[in-house]
Amino acid sequence: MNCFECGAPAVGVCRFCGRAVCKNHVQTMPYIVALYQGRDGVTKAVAVSDVLYCGFCRPQPRPVPMPELV
Ligand SMILES: [Zn+2]
Ligand SMILES: [Zn+2]
């Protein structure tokens, strides 16, 4: 598999969108595994830091409502 951006051999795949990226274009960002509401009513996130990110897609910071899928 080759880099989405430059075509060089890819070192990994973006956790968010699945694009392949080479070592020059790979980035990292925290990945939120789950959101939950604590007893104090504050929304908390279970996150993994430094997952592979392509730098092109735009992960949304919050879950997106999808009422049309219900
Ligand atoms: Zn590249
Ligand atoms: Zn991506």
pLDDT digit string, tens, across residues 7-61: 999 999 999 999 999 999 999 999 988 989 989 999 999 999 999 999 999 887 7
Q: Supply the range of the domain harboring residue 1.
A: 1-56
Please report whether residue 69 resides in a domain: no
Closest ligand to C-alpha of residue 3 is 1
Who has greater pLDDT, 70 or 9? Answer: 9
DSSP annotation of 13 reads E
Please report whether residue 65 resides in a domain: no
Please report whether residue 46 resides in a domain: yes
- Which amino acid, residue 19? R
Q: CA torsion 2→55→47→40, rounded to 10°?
A: -160
Who has greater pLDDT, 70 or 12? Answer: 12
Please report whether residue 14 resides in a domain: yes
Please report whether residue 49 resides in a domain: yes
pTM: 0.73
CA of 66 to the centre of ligand 1 (A): 33
For ion ligand 2, residues whose CB falls within 5 Å: 14, 16-17, 19, 54, 57
CA of 62 to the centre of ligand 1 (A): 28
CA of 33 to the centre of ligand 1 (A): 27
Structural domain total, the chain = 1
